Amino acid sequence: MNMRQVGIEIPKVDVLEKALGEAKYGADLPCQEPLHLKVLRSPTSHAKIVRMQMEKALRVSGVERIFTAKDIPGKNLVGTIVKDQPILASDRVRYIGDAVALIAARTEEAAEEAAQKVVVVYEDLPSIIHPEEALHPHAPLIHEKGNLLLEFHVIKGDVQKGFKEAEVVVEETYTTTWVDHAYLEPDAGISYLDEKGRITIVCPTQNVHYDQKEVASVLSLPLDQVRIIQCSTGGGFGGRLDVTIQCLLALAAFHLKQPVRIVYSREEVFQVTSKRHPLTIRYKSGAKKDGKLIAIEVDILGDTGAYASYGGTVAIRSAVHATGPYQVPNVKVRSRMAYTNNSWSGAMRGFGVPQMAFAHESQMDLLAQALKMDPIEIRLKNCLRVGSETATGQTLTASVGIGETLKKVKEWRDKLSLLKDDSKKPFIKKGVGIGSMWYGIGNTGIANPSTAQMEIDPDGEIRLFTGVADIGQGSDTVLLQIASEAIGVSLDEIRLIRADTAVTTDAGATSASRQTYISGNAILDAIKNLKHSAIQEASQLLNIDENDLFFENGKVKSRTCLTTSIPLREIAKRCAKILKGEGSFDPETTKLDPQTGQGVPYATYAFATHLAEVEVDTESGKVSVNRVIASHDVGKAIHPQNVIGQIMGGVAMGTGFALMEEYVPGEKTSFVNYLIPTSKDVPEVIPIVVEDKEPTGPFGAKGVGEPALIPSAPAILNAIAEAIGQRIYDLPANLERVLGAVQKRKLA
């Protein structure tokens, strides 16, 4: 097939709007004389609400109303999987920042003043800070059903027998901490009643249809009485998968019948939005003398904080990915997620896999060191390939590009000049590290559908309808490229309507690197059905049997009379009706066995390998990442430059995860003390795009959004270990931990 739109680099469809500053983000949205909302939040981590006194607050000039849990007409609980998080706390608060009351006022200043004058009397309850403490038999209960959110196992083969046969065994413990999404746009949006009387919320989000369901449940309204529209979204990374402002906006608009606006402060964003789950990972690996992996045993304990959010998803995905992209015949993984009174953890780019990659890639280097093997060679010896069976018993049949990513990185490494320490700067140590990963595309072992529609009207306008939220990753452009290529018209001839529950159907969340693969396939299905409809209509218009007609390059053509053809637009015009095609796609997966974790959790996987070159200042503890070679199997790059952009961003975020990002509840409240990489911290990135096509993907594509992040931290930590001769087992590898490792090396 002649690729005219897929695999080429074109300007992203929203680039001009953003470059000119015309994109409307949440705080920019026009709204006529809105009331301003402010949330009163808990200053304590665990307490009963004894009473609230609002008389003084209500006397503040400009205050219209103060809402509490009693004002919620429907269910006062939300959650992506487990409904356990109140919109406004009714009887108890469970973390510092829990919402207690919502103030609506004519000015922001009045709302702020009123919030300070609401008096809430609390009765403190015991707080649980550590997940180990939460799982103690006599620990105070954070939720009635107990402090264990979920326990999940992956069991394959006989791990005890495997370790008896192993000739080298490495056993270590790794920890990671909370990480904030640090998107630059604070949560903000508006709500109003539209011309049909629907509660309408316009806000940044990663899933308009999920938001719609939650708002409807909270307000006890039918779905068609709630409309969610995604505005331009200044980053997400998983942080906009949970509801944040949506139900607060809706509650106020529902009662007041007036437009309302909310804009979180940066401090509020840090305090009350979800974080990456801290994990403690106890990891035991066994191998033969030739480097062949024979057994792993892993125990994972995570902190989901006060509420479930995506804690169960992270527990399961981290267990499924615990082996890394390697064949291991004997596997035993236990993964648990516990409630605590810490900030709640949710979805963040990778769903537990970045934490697991840090552990399994450290283990691979330790095995290589013990066996005196090359770190890349031990990975090549064990990496998954077509025909391999994963830890969940899934046989991989195609698009397994991990070996190719390793070979590409090896070519680069072998071309590099040998890193030598500078004799004039003996305190600067240099190192090179490798990190590999695999990542299942889409949700884990559950239904994961998307839908889309294509249509053309009698005036010739071609429209693509999709519920996909573009959060800056470029899905608008990529999905239009897929549609353009499949239907045979130029991209600028297609009008995109997306992420508005009033006019688009459910495409699922923009998460799990799923939209190119799953929604791309839904669009192809819609176009297939549109083509069929066009052939049916053309058959009548041309008086030619349908079996003699086919669709090519935007036209219906005859197989027997090569000069006979009719453009799609002409068909719609002549039959005087809208031609439509409905499409859907749900990857083929199976539910995982609840006892053993066996099954087919994903239809396809992305693979990657990074090489990092670092310099470590052993006097200050500063680590400089000079260069990262980033090799990614993406199946097919629909938009190559966009893939490269994702890789660049992933390396930057991975550098932060490796070296500096560490959220501390109650302490880190702004970018003054929560450190993220600046332009001076981001290394030179050399991206390598490997295209091992996925047969079930749109034009062979898989995904790259989360994979771009995952191998960076493992590669950087392995490079630090090579540079200073001492490994760091706790992220981030900040100045203090690096200096501690240097000192430990000196004392060894």
- Separation of alpha carbons 600 and 234, rounded Å: 34
212 vs 232: CA distance, rounded Å:
18
pLDDT score of 416: 77
pTM of the model: 0.97
Give the pLDDT confidence of 285-310 residue by residue, as tens digits.
999 999 999 999 999 999 999 999 99
**Model pLDDT, residue 665:** 87
Encoded amino acid at 263, one letter: V
Q: Is 732 in contact with 177 (CB distance < 8 Å)?
A: yes
Instruction: Assess whether pLDDT exceeds 60 at residue 134.
Output: yes
Where residue 669 falls among pLDDT bands split at 50, 70, 90?
Answer: confident
Helix (H) or strand (E) holding 298: strand 293-305
Pairing of strands 684-690, 623-633: parallel
Least confident of 289-298, 422-431, 644-653: 422-431
Please answer whether residues 437 and 325 qualify as being in contact, where contact means their C-beta atoms are separated by less than 8 angstroms: yes
pLDDT value at position 26? 97
pLDDT tens-place string over residues 672-727? 999 999 999 999 999 999 999 999 999 999 999 999 999 999 999 999 999 999 99
For residues 144-158, give the mean pLDDT: 98
Confidence of residue 3 (pLDDT cuts 50, 70, 90): low
Amino acid of residue 558: S
Domains of the chain are: 26-125+187-263 (3.90.1170.50), 353-444+601-747 (3.30.365.10), 449-585 (3.30.365.10)
With beta carbons less than 8 A apart as the criterion, state whether 351 and 313 touch.
yes
Q: Per this entry, what is the length of the chain?
A: 748
> CA separation (Å) from 327 to 28, 157, 385?
51, 12, 9
Beta bridge partners of 579: 456
Query: In whole angstroms, how far apart are CA 416 and each of 413, 470, 627, 629?
Result: 5, 38, 11, 11
| List of residues 6+ apart from 174 with CB closer than 8 A | 279, 280, 281, 283, 355, 358, 359, 362, 729, 730, 731
The token duo for 272 is 């009350």
Cα 203 to Cα 199: distance, rounded to the nearest angstrom: 13
Q: How confident is the model at residue 671 (pLDDT cuts 50, 70, 90)?
A: very high
Q: How confident is the model at residue 482 (pLDDT cuts 50, 70, 90)?
A: very high
* H helix intervals, 166-305: 208-219, 246-256, 266-272
Of residues 420 and 218, which shows the higher confidence score? 218
Residue with tokens 């402090």: 147
* pLDDT at residue 656 is higher than 80: yes
* Res 2 pLDDT > 70: no
* Band of pLDDT at residue 140, cut at 50, 70 and 90: very high
DSSP 470: P
Confidence of residue 418 (pLDDT cuts 50, 70, 90): low
The answer to whether 516 touches 466, Cβ cutoff 8 Å, is no
Q: pLDDT above 70 covers what percent of the chain? A: 99
Q: Is the pLDDT of residue 667 over 60?
A: yes
Give the confidence band of 1 by pLDDT, cuts at 50, 70, 90: very low
Residue 336, SS3 per DSSP: strand
Q: What is the pLDDT of residues 37-83, one digit of tens each?
A: 999 999 999 999 999 999 999 999 999 999 999 999 999 999 999 99
For 691, phi then psi, to 5°, come to -115, 85
Residue 181 CB neighbour total at 10 angstroms: 22
Summarised one tens digit per residue, pLDDT across range 75-102 is 999 999 999 999 999 999 999 999 999 9
Per-residue pLDDT, 668: 85
Q: Which 8-state DSSP code applies to residue 170?
A: E
Contact yes or no for 707/608 (Cβ under 8 A): yes
Distance CA 628, CA 632 (A): 12
Cα–Cα nearest to 272, from 82, 125, 95: 95
pLDDT digit string, tens, across residues 537-557: 999 999 999 999 999 999 999
Residue 346 has pLDDT above 80, yes or no: yes
- The predicted-structure confidence for 169-210, as pLDDT tens digits, reads as follows 999 999 999 999 999 999 999 999 999 999 999 999 999 999
Chain segment 161-171, per-residue pLDDT in tens:
999 999 999 99
- Residue 267: band (very low, low, confident or very high) from pLDDT cuts 50, 70, 90: very high
Give the pLDDT confidence score for residue 419 in this predicted structure.
67
* Amino acid 335: pLDDT: 98
CA 532-537-542 angle, 5° bins: 120
Cβ-contact 449, 508 below 8 angstroms = yes
Instruction: Note the pLDDT of residue 421.
Output: 73
For 615, phi and psi rounded to 5 degrees?
Answer: -125, 135
Mean pLDDT, rounded, of the chain: 97
Q: Is residue 440 pLDDT above 70, yes or no?
A: yes
